[in-house]
Chains A and B, each alone.
Chain A
């Protein structure tokens, strides 16, 4: 089937000409993108590819079918239309919808090149290099020309083949049911060590017994015996020694990458291990896209608007373009639009760095009059946004660059559920709260942080996970379902320590029944 995919790459010549022109303009503007292949698809093919998240071949799974059904329905009812789809691959593939107007196609091509530049240059995407980013940890340094191996189309197709083979052997229903369980745990990966922390090889020195050193509080010599009394130090030493002697747990330290832990330690059949590996690999592939949604869309929108209005759109295009652009940037129903938020942030950063509105002098200035006219004519805005697109993810982007003024201009607010009125309401427009809300939404991809703590809990081979509770409870019914999935994979009872309505609670599933009891880690 994949051959038929490559055959479709023939773009009509008028679009090919546009593509060349747009790529030239983009290069002149400083964008640096992978070679990009545009394909023209009919709407049903577009819906298919979109249901497969942009890839021509994935493993068989019903949820792709569900997504396809949803996309087809909303398209047929005229509720939505996918304009643009691009995947992080080298070379990059992007899809154009057959029947869109020429203006729309130009707009999409400009937008896509912004995305591809982002894929290539943002450091978070290094984790999708199939050579593991050559261990690159310095986001500013890389070998030029930069041609990372990102053959994800092939990879996904191979993963599909792996799963299909297991289905042929073990039955589709069985494998699919298992995949459902794996997908329930998909978000239990470690966003900071994508895709896998290389374990330092074990050396003999690691086994050297270390002298237990008791930390002392800093004190002047004459105060020493009062601040660090001998008997307290002795007690502390005893405690530390006891901890050193205590039986070790597996994992030694709590581990974020639960999927990896399961791969290493769960009693899996070979096909089960293989499927879980597929799910984990793909989860890591999509991770940077989740981490940079606002930036990525903002960056692409920034560039489509610049390129279209300055170089690409002609007089016949411009109204149509403005209409489409307004549709993309619209904020309705109180929803936050990542396109809008992202593009405004990038423009704001460019403006601030052009005018020198940053640093201590700016921060310390309280005079509204002076702030309003502040312009040091530094002209460093363009360079700054290119640096930002390389070094930040949504979390740090919002944290560092969302200013009070911008939040006010964008009319941001926090939303909360009012139990009294049984509806969602605007909670507050206070800047600190808005920012906190945004950051929480972006931390860990909006998922709770869950670690695997012990694989021999209660000395009964049970798995213990811990939810790092930061004020918001887990959705308990779903947590129970996830425990069920974990138990399927671990084949022993599984527990998660969390907090439910203020009480430390241990949720447990033993393979038959769900349980909950008070428990403190």
Chain B
């Protein structure tokens, strides 16, 4: 049932959207949104929107309370609500916060508006659809195996009440064939994933927790944006130190290895993965690599460049390299990449100094519209 309040709620949500947009940069750099992520929505804590009035300054005014305790004891707790829903008792000291749910789609829109991200160009690759049957409706005919008992008995009850044969004292409901209701299905086409993000991250000893946190935040936003752009999106994760392996999302963000760094190992695995599973004429492929820019040797860096040139760049929409500043990394890899591949439009590089740098880096990566 639609309620009258719906339109007021919509207005409120519009206002909230404005607020989220205003504070987006803060949310991005603090990463507080991701802890509250559900399946399709995130809860964003906002300061309660209040109508300003001529009021007393809280801290001067004080108030009256009730209960145990000696003078000087702290008065605990948030302000709650009385039964009537209009309770205004005790002090109004605590700051109220409001948790608002924003869908990931909406969040991507906000991100796009705020960072002025262009929509991604259509690569002309055919979107692959698949079909699936879903039980969504009710029919009057069907096989007994699909009989909908509740609906059937409801129909029977309706009929008996209408015809006056229902006796409340003896509530016996007997369906006749006409009452029978069956589940029915519809065939729906569903878009199959047609874009894939391959995340690679250096997990060698020099990447600390803070660096990983930055990667985590940044990948959340990249995910959100690309999900909005493509009907289906897959993500794969590769970690590497001196050798590379594919892992799941959880492991990706929480593994810590020690030891050396051979970036080429990751690129080789990545190229392999693309060749095996993601033919480039069907997939939009995005490759993101995060590291602190420290590679084992110049030789290895050269083989990275070689790998990129021959096996990766020709098949991907974009290759993005994000260098997170760490106290141990030399940052040399970024310079080398720029030197050898800087001219290639598919290569995007970005330096992320700290959490505040995330916004600019997202803009670097996604601002090209590729």
Binary A-proximity of B1-33 (CB < 8 A = 1, otherwise 0): 101110111111111000000000000000000
User: A191-199, A262-270, A366-374, A424-432: which lies at the B interface?
Assistant: A424-432
Do the beta carbons of B75 and A472 come within 8 Å of each other? no
Do the beta carbons of B72 and A426 come within 8 Å of each other? yes
B135 within 8 Å of A (CB atoms): no
Closest CB-CB distance, A486 to chain B, in whole Å?
Answer: 10
Known contacts A60-B8, A334-B90; decide if A426 and B65 are in contact (CB<8 Å).
yes
A332 within 8 Å of B (CB atoms): yes
Chain B: which residue is nearest A297 at the CB level?
A: B84
Closest CB-CB distance, B263 to chain A, in whole Å?
Answer: 47
Q: How many residue pairs at the A-B interface have CB separations less than 8 Å?
A: 232
User: B53-61, B284-292, B316-324, B354-362: which lies at the A interface?
Assistant: B53-61
Q: Which residues of B contact A51 (CB under 8 A)?
A: 5, 8
Do the beta carbons of A335 and B89 come within 8 Å of each other? yes
Closest CB-CB distance, B13 to chain A, in whole Å?
Answer: 7
Do the beta carbons of A448 and B62 come within 8 Å of each other? no
Q: Which residues of A contact B124 (CB under 8 A)?
A: none
CA distance A507 to B4 in the complex (A): 41
Q: How many residues of A contact B (CB 8 A)?
A: 93
A16 within 8 Å of B (CB atoms): no
Among B9, B15, B66, B85, the residue within 8 A (CB) of A413 is B66
Q: Which residues of A contact B53 (CB under 8 A)?
A: 184-187, 447, 478, 482
Do the beta carbons of B65 and A57 come within 8 Å of each other? no
Do the beta carbons of A334 and B54 come within 8 Å of each other? no
Among B7, B49, B64, the residue within 8 A (CB) of A414 is B64
Do the beta carbons of A334 and B69 come within 8 Å of each other? yes
Q: Which residues of B contact A331 (CB under 8 A)?
A: 66-67
Known contacts A184-B53, A333-B77; decide if A438 and B93 are in contact (CB<8 Å).
no
Among B57, B83, B84, the residue within 8 A (CB) of A474 is B57
CA distance A411 to B69 in the complex (A): 9
A415 within 8 Å of B (CB atoms): yes
B171 within 8 Å of A (CB atoms): no
A62 within 8 Å of B (CB atoms): yes
Q: Which residues of A contact B61 (CB under 8 A)?
A: 440, 472
Do the beta carbons of A473 and B60 come within 8 Å of each other? yes
A85 within 8 Å of B (CB atoms): yes
Q: Which residues of A contact B11 (CB under 8 A)?
A: 60-62, 65, 172, 176
Among A52, A185, A419, A425, the residue within 8 A (CB) of B5 is A52
Do the beta carbons of A474 and B56 come within 8 Å of each other? yes
User: A66-74, A144-152, A231-239, A377-385: which lies at the B interface?
Assistant: A66-74
CA distance A441 to B92 in the complex (A): 11
CA distance A481 to B84 in the complex (A): 30
Do the beta carbons of A333 and B63 come within 8 Å of each other? no
Q: Which residues of A contact B67 (CB under 8 A)?
A: 331-335, 411, 413
Q: Which residues of A contact B307 (CB under 8 A)?
A: none
List CB contacts (< 8 Å) of B29-62 with chain A.
49, 51-62
Do the beta carbons of A438 and B64 come within 8 Å of each other? yes
CA distance A186 to B54 in the complex (A): 9
Do the beta carbons of A416 and B64 come within 8 Å of each other? no
Q: Which residues of B contact A66 (CB under 8 A)?
A: 12, 49, 98
User: A20-28, A218-226, A336-344, A508-516: which lies at the B interface?
Assistant: A336-344
B137 within 8 Å of A (CB atoms): no
Known contacts A45-B3, A332-B67; decide if A482 and B8 are in contact (CB<8 Å).
no
Closest CB-CB distance, A172 to chain B, in whole Å?
Answer: 8
Do the beta carbons of A335 and B85 come within 8 Å of each other? no
CA distance A446 to B63 in the complex (A): 10
B159 within 8 Å of A (CB atoms): no
Do the beta carbons of A68 and B66 come within 8 Å of each other? no
Among B5, B59, B60, B100, the residue within 8 A (CB) of A48 is B5
Q: Which residues of B contact A53 (CB under 8 A)?
A: 86
Closest CB-CB distance, B327 to chain A, in whole Å?
Answer: 34
Do the beta carbons of B12 and A410 come within 8 Å of each other? no
Do the beta carbons of A427 and B5 come within 8 Å of each other? no
Closest CB-CB distance, A181 to chain B, in whole Å?
Answer: 10
A412 within 8 Å of B (CB atoms): yes
List CB contacts (< 8 Å) of A34-52 with chain B.
44-45, 47-48, 50-52
Closest CB-CB distance, A381 to chain B, in whole Å?
Answer: 24
Q: Which residues of B contact A339 (CB under 8 A)?
A: 82-83
Do the beta carbons of A83 and B8 come within 8 Å of each other? no
A31 within 8 Å of B (CB atoms): no
Q: Which residues of A contact B59 (CB under 8 A)?
A: 417, 419
Among A69, A176, A450, the residue within 8 A (CB) of B54 is A450
Q: Which residues of A contact B4 (CB under 8 A)?
A: 1, 48, 52, 56-57
9 nearest A-B residue pairs (beta carbon) = A333-B77, A65-B12, A65-B8, A65-B9, A481-B52, A335-B90, A478-B52, A62-B11, A417-B59
6 contacts between A and B (CB under 8 A): A44-B1, A48-B3, A73-B99, A337-B82, A441-B64, A447-B54
